[in-house]
Structure 1
Amino acid sequence: MDRIRIVGGRTLEGRIPISGAKNAALPLMIASLLTSETLTLENMPNLADVSMLLRILGHHGVDYSVDGRRPGEMPHASRTIHLSARAIVDTMAPYELVSKMRASFWVVAPLLARMGEAKVSLPGGCAIGTRPVDLLIMVLERLGASVEIEAGYVHARAQKGLRGAEIRFPKVTVGGTHTALMAASLAHGHTRIENAACEPEIVDLADCLNKMGAKIKGAGQTAIEIEGVGSLSGARHAVLPDRIEAGTYAMAVAMTGGDVLLEGASPALLQSALDAIEQAGAGVSVTNEGIRVRRNGAGLSPVDVTTAPFPGFPTDLQAQFMALMTVAKGCSRITETIFENRFMHVQELARFGAKIRLEGDIAFVEGVESLQGAPVMATDLRASVSLVIAALAAEGETVVNRVYHLDRGFEHLEEKLSRCGALVERLSNPG
């Protein structure tokens, strides 16, 4: 199992290209099941989760091809993937595939909408919370499907097709909103979604579905209207830039000092996080090439943040911001409102010498003068990159174990950091 070795204490200087968003790419790939024509997705990140989902979609009969890199392009240049589900060969998604990636449960919506039936394994547990699929099942039932849960599988049927309906979520759910958009696009009649998630990735999916011939209005707002159509066509769509990756590198620059241009980053996608970084003492400016972040070595100020659905502070940047606050001059308070049990990185940050006290869903972070390198263990995707941020600023050497978590969500992490002056290398264990 690979590890990453980091020698801290160096500022970051240069440019980091921001990849396509993983959280947008996965539902866009799943949407390929809705049409027999080819869906072409540009700006696709090269990630372990994308590769796994290609394998899962292949199980259902999706053929795919990946455009090669053009001569002279950087190794991290974005990819274009062509997905074609001319014929669905299997409407069942088995446990051994779904258990490897929770997002793959979303195939239930397009399979049901297009084929009238889907049998999908319930996803397994998750390190950062239960994330139940109850609301996704509620969507299918509201649209007229009969749903049974048997032997760990969700078996949904709608032999005469789905029917438009009013769907009101009791709480904001990104997965539920993705499910509703895909299923309602091919339902008979009109669907209205209330208390919909407003995340940019929702808007990206709706934009792509509209290019495919869907009739969706209001994505990005709490109420979305969908007029079902008989079929969808192929389309070409570029994945939006990854706001979590951009925010992560912005916090790395704020933590280490330096001056980095985040190429292709969009400030509108992560304004609340940029505001918090500025309050902490880093300079943030927008250029026609992306977002520039710089800090000249002056001390960091403590900042209180509370995670919230978009446009609030993203839960996927909470661990990274906590790492930043470990060296602020004073006490900061970080409140997690989205996922329970999402503070597992606290004990690993403590190995660097961080002082963090937990009270329920609140972490109180008392800044220290400096962090010390240490061997640490990644527990989940976002927690693992918070350890990298801490290591970049820590004195001495850090080895981050279980970096497969990083490979799921950060493309060419070591290369991007190394090109800006960080001392980062991957260590491959023999055998």
Structure 2
Amino acid sequence: MTLLGDTATTGGRKGGEGEVLAIRGGRPLRGTVQVLGAKNLVTKAMVAALLGESPSTLRDVPEISDVAVVRSLLEVHGVQVQELGERGSLVLDPRGVESAHMEEIDAHAGASRIPILFCGPLLHRLGQAFIPDLGGCRIGDRPIDFHLDALRKFGAVVEKLPSGIRLSAPRGLHGANIHLPYPSVGATEQVLLTAVRAEGVTELHNAAIEPEIMDLIAVLQKMGAIISYEPNRVIVIEGVPRLEGYDHRAIFDRNEAASWASAAIATDGEIFVEGARQQEMLTFLNVLRKVGADFQIREDGILFRRGGQLRGVTVETDVHPGFMTDWQQPLIVALTQAEGRSIVHETVYENRFGFTQALVQMGADITVYPNGLQDGPRRVPRRSLEQAAVINGPTPLHGADITVPDLRGGYSHVIAALAAEGESTVRNIGIIRRGYADFLDKLTALGADFDVIG
């Protein structure tokens, strides 16, 4: 295995975000795909290696561009990264950690938001950190205020510069009592990565409790951290003066698993997702059952297929244990083939239905309500930023010329093109590499008919 370096690769095929696919649709996807470690855990566990005084080993690392970005940022800071013989295994040695120039950090960060999570570990190891201007998918406002406010409470000094943000800890970092206004995954990770080496006790209230967060806690505990989880989203971290390296196999990527499930349903195919587990996908599987899709849970994965006529469903995205926002985009493609009316309430991000414009262009009947829908019972509390999408189906899809807007939306466009009759041109395909390993090779193995034309 060759993990991504400066040039993104997918299964040996090179190309940037501007790569274009010509997809001939109308063919069911059938076969087996394997999911490795979750993007939302692997990249954070790689950062956690900075905290150790000895090397760490991380297993089931997927070959995605986000991993390449974190690897390059670690190497810029003096961390030695080596690949083991076992596929997807990395050894991260932080013993030579050193400061990096702002220009180097900016150059290697690209559009990734991961540099913000380097702050706590670097403040502990070096006493300073730098964050360049942050990018990421264009799915709404993703402020770093939660992160900066938490770092200030730990004792960090934040200095805003034209090129980014410089942080320092002239008096070291100490425990803090932190209340998040929203159970942000990123801010929870920030607190965990900072509190484990801070002097004293940290209490984090309204924390995110996603499975990837729990897996990060497991990583940190292996390193020597003392972390306990209490009811009502409270996490207590007792700071320790020293951490060692870890040996950890990452939790599977439930986002990728749900994406392939939606692909099987949308194309009326059958896909076995090797490595998927029931427990972490419980909420998603409940929705599939309501839709009328079929799945079989096996010891080594989950088999997904349409099974029969799909039914309309109402979905409300929410933080864990609710329905993930990353699940709704590929699911909407499948819902275009469901009988009746489906409603998806997006409560996590304020601008995540932009991808539906391409689906409408392909023949879907989707109406987006920018201010949400106020009628009907709700389980998830309404938020001022929420939107709603109403999908009427089933509607046949036809080929179109579309451009990938973001990671999950881009995957959804590809699956819609594979479900549609005729040929589609899908541009900017490289964005999908941020979260889907060996994407084109997996499509080929599932019987997809496409050409790379750019």
TM-score normalised by the chain length of structure 1: 0.93
Equivalence for 2:197: 186
Q: Choose from 317, 335, 342 the match for 1:332.
A: 342
Equivalence for 1:227: 238
| Superposition deviation, residue 259 in structure 1 | 2.7
1:261 is the counterpart of 2:287: no
Q: Choose from 78, 83, 97 the match for 2:92.
A: 83
Question: Greater CA deviation, 96-105 or 132-141?
Answer: 96-105
Q: Choose from 45, 48, 57 the match for 2:62.
A: 45
Q: Is contact 2:112-2:136 (8 Å) kept?
A: no
- Tell me, in whole angstroms, the C-alpha distance in 1 between the residues paired with 2:329 and 2:152: 36
- Tell me, in whole angstroms, the C-alpha distance in 2 between the residues paired with 1:383 and 1:125: 13
Question: Greater CA deviation, 177-186 or 100-109?
Answer: 100-109
Q: Choose from 407, 423, 437 the match for 1:397.
A: 423
Aligned length: 419
Provide Cα deviations, 1:341-372, integer angstroms capped at 9, x if missing partner: 11110111112111111111111111143111
How do 1:233-248 and structure 2 match up within 5 A?
233-248=244-259
- Runs (5+) with no aligned partner, structure 2: 1-17, 371-386
3-state secondary structure, aligned to 1:391: helix
- Tell me, in whole angstroms, the C-alpha distance in 2 between the residues paired with 1:353 and 1:243: 29
Equivalence for 1:160: 171
| Superposition deviation, residue 271 in structure 1 | 1.6
1:293 is the counterpart of 2:304: yes
Q: Is contact 2:111-2:136 (8 Å) kept?
A: no
How do 1:275-286 and structure 2 match up within 5 A?
275-286=286-297
Question: Greater CA deviation, 180-189 or 91-100?
Answer: 91-100
| Superposition deviation, residue 334 in structure 1 | 1.0
Question: Greater CA deviation, 263-272 or 167-176?
Answer: 263-272
1:417 is the counterpart of 2:443: yes
**Letter in structure 1 aligned against 2:435:** G
Distance 1:124 1:244, change over 3 A: closer
Q: Is contact 1:198-1:219 (8 Å) kept?
A: no
- Tell me, in whole angstroms, the C-alpha distance in 1 between the residues paired with 2:101 and 2:48: 16
Q: Is contact 1:353-1:372 (8 Å) kept?
A: yes
Provide Cα deviations, 1:99-157, integer angstroms capped at 9, x if missing partner: 42112221111111222222222414751112010000111111122222232432222
Question: Greater CA deviation, 6-15 or 350-359?
Answer: 6-15
Question: Greater CA deviation, 225-234 or 114-123?
Answer: 114-123
| Superposition deviation, residue 428 in structure 1 | 4.3
- Tell me, in whole angstroms, the C-alpha distance in 2 between the residues paired with 1:392 and 1:213: 47
- Tell me, in whole angstroms, the C-alpha distance in 1 between the residues paired with 2:423 and 2:285: 29
Q: Choose from 41, 53, 62 the match for 2:79.
A: 62
Q: Is contact 1:42-1:79 (8 Å) kept?
A: yes
Q: Is contact 1:164-1:190 (8 Å) kept?
A: yes
Q: Is contact 1:114-1:186 (8 Å) kept?
A: no
Q: Is contact 1:197-1:221 (8 Å) kept?
A: no
Question: Greater CA deviation, 15-24 or 181-190?
Answer: 15-24
Equivalence for 1:316: 326
Equivalence for 2:206: 195
- Tell me, in whole angstroms, the C-alpha distance in 2 between the residues paired with 1:53 and 1:294: 35
| Superposition deviation, residue 91 in structure 1 | 5.4
- Tell me, in whole angstroms, the C-alpha distance in 2 between the residues paired with 1:32 and 1:428: 39
- Tell me, in whole angstroms, the C-alpha distance in 1 between the residues paired with 2:252 and 2:137: 26
Q: Is contact 1:331-1:364 (8 Å) kept?
A: yes
Equivalence for 2:4: none
- Runs (5+) with no aligned partner, structure 1: 70-77
Q: Is contact 1:254-1:295 (8 Å) kept?
A: yes
Distance 1:68 1:351, change over 3 A: farther
3-state secondary structure, aligned to 2:141: coil
- Tell me, in whole angstroms, the C-alpha distance in 1 between the residues paired with 2:136 and 2:85: 36
- Tell me, in whole angstroms, the C-alpha distance in 1 between the residues paired with 2:393 and 2:230: 40
How do 1:349-364 and structure 2 match up within 5 A?
349-360=359-370, 361-364=387-390
**Letter in structure 1 aligned against 2:199:** H
- Tell me, in whole angstroms, the C-alpha distance in 2 between the residues paired with 1:332 and 1:365: 5
TM-score normalised by the chain length of structure 2: 0.88
3-state secondary structure, aligned to 1:179: helix
Measured on the aligned residues, the alpha-carbon RMSD in Å equals 1.8
3-state secondary structure, aligned to 2:89: strand
Q: Is contact 2:128-2:167 (8 Å) kept?
A: yes
| Superposition deviation, residue 247 in structure 1 | 0.2
- Tell me, in whole angstroms, the C-alpha distance in 1 between the residues paired with 2:231 and 2:299: 24
Identity level (%): 37
3-state secondary structure, aligned to 2:415: helix
Distance 1:164 1:55, change over 3 A: same
Q: Choose from 143, 151, 157 the match for 1:146.
A: 157
- Tell me, in whole angstroms, the C-alpha distance in 1 between the residues paired with 2:182 and 2:57: 33
3-state secondary structure, aligned to 2:390: strand
